[in-house]
Amino acid sequence: MARLTPETERFLRKAVAGLPFRKRGEARDELRAHLEDAIEQKVAQGSERKRAEREAVASLGDAAELNRGLLRAHFGKMWVLRYLYSKLSWWLPELGHIQFRPKFMIWTHTSKYPHQYAEGRYDEIIPPLGTRTCFTRAE
């Protein structure tokens, strides 16, 4: 399987978002195969590989439009609900980048050790077991 650029992978993820799990994998593999065929054809015609990949992706049109078409095909009139769900699923990974940890740690420590905090005796504050991992995003 040829390696595609991260932009193309993102395009594929967007195009199949919201489809049922098994169908999503199949649709992504199908679109990926289409792109690989189109890239190979363009390269054979003398195009440079990166350019061929960009053109192949462009020929599939807008990822959101393709996504709406696939959702309509699979869910009929209920496609709007799945579309909203898929939109949300694009944003959720982005929310993972928000760091909750500092605020949470301060809140925990000030409530459990108010005097130590007020008097600046930070060395006496021992982080309670488990709080470190509560809202910390795995690297």
Partner 1 sequence: MLRELRKGTASLLLLDLLAARPMYGFELAEALRERTNGVLTFKEGTLYPALHRLEAEELVETFWQDSPRGPRRRYYRLTARGRKALAERREHWHTLVEAINGALDAGNGTVSP
Please report, as ranges, the residues that interact with partner 1 according to CB under 8 A.
1-2, 26-27, 29-34, 36-38, 40, 59-62, 65-66, 69-70, 72-74
Distance CA 8, CA 51 (A): 12
CB of 44 to partner 1, least distance (A): 12
CB of 131 to partner 1, least distance (A): 47
Contact criterion met (CB below 8 Å) for 91 and 84: no
Distance CA 106, CA 11 (A): 40
Contact criterion met (CB below 8 Å) for 11 and 63: yes
CB of 12 to partner 1, least distance (A): 12
CB of 58 to partner 1, least distance (A): 10
Cα 11 versus chain centre, distance: 11
Between residues 40 and 113, which has the closer beta carbon with respect to partner 1? 40
| Length, in residues, of the chain | 139
CB of 42 to partner 1, least distance (A): 12
DSSP 23-52: HHHHHHHHHHHHHHHHHHHHHHTT--HHHH
